[in-house]
C-alpha cells in the first residue's frame, strides 16, 4: 500500500470508483476520462509501479489480470474486439505509477496509436 497512490486508494475503497470486477488479486474500474464507449482499468491490488517492475513472483497476479480482462470484456459485450494495453513510463503516456491495463472497446480502433 502506497499512501500517495491514487490507485492503491481506489483498490482499498478509500477513493470512490465504478468497480466492474474484483477478486483477491485484481480490481477493474471505469476510467473517469473514457477514450472509448468501454474504457476499464485493471490493476493489481498490490502496488507495482509498471510492468518494468515485475518480477517472476508476480506471475500469479499477471495471470489474474489477463483472466479478469476476459471477464470484463465479456461482461461489457466487447469480447469480439477490444484493445488491452499498458503505458510504461512518462514518454509512453503513463501518468499514474501503479500498474494498470486499459481495456478499450465499443468503437473502431486505429493502428498505430499516436
Binding site for ligand 5GP (CB under 6 A): 6, 17, 29-33, 41, 87, 93-96
Q: How far is Cα 72 from Cα 29, in angstroms, rounded to an integer?
A: 10
Find which of ligand 5GP, Zn ion, none residue 82 binds, CB within 5 to 8 Å per kind: none
Q: How far is Cα 80 from Cα 90, in angstroms, rounded to an integer?
A: 31
For residue 1, the Cα-to-chain-centroid distance in whole angstroms is: 17
Residues that bind Zn ion (CB under 5 A): 2, 5, 7-8, 47, 98
In whole angstroms, the minimum distance from the beta carbon of 114 to ligand 5GP comes to: 13
- The sheet with strand 38-44 has its strands ordered as 19-22, 26-30, 38-44, 101-105, 82-85
In whole angstroms, the minimum distance from the beta carbon of 36 to ligand 5GP comes to: 11
Q: How far is Cα 6 from Cα 58, in angstroms, rounded to an integer?
A: 21
In whole angstroms, the minimum distance from the beta carbon of 29 to ligand 5GP comes to: 5
Find which of Zn ion, ligand 5GP, none residue 98 binds, CB within 5 to 8 Å per kind: Zn ion
Amino acid at each position: 500500500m502506497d499512501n500517495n497512490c491514487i490507485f492503491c486508494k481506489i483498490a482499498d475503497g478509500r477513493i470512490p470508483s465504478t468497480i466492474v470486477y474484483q477478486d483477491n488479486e485484481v480490481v477493474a474500474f471505469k476510467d473517469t476520462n473514457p477514450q472509448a464507449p468501454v474504457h476499464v482499468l485493471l490493476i493489481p491490488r498490490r502496488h507495482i509501479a509498471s510492468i518494468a517492475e515485475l518480477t517472476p513472483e508476480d506471475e500469479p497476479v499477471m495471470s489474474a489480470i489477463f483472466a479478469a480482462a476476459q471477464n470484463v470484456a465479456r461482461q461489457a459485450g466487447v469480447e469480439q474486439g477490444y484493445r488491452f494495453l499498458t503505458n510504461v513510463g512518462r514518454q509512453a503516456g503513463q501518468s499514474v505509477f501503479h500498474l494498470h491495463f486499459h481495456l478499450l472497446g465499443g468503437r473502431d480502433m486505429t493502428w498505430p496509436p499516436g
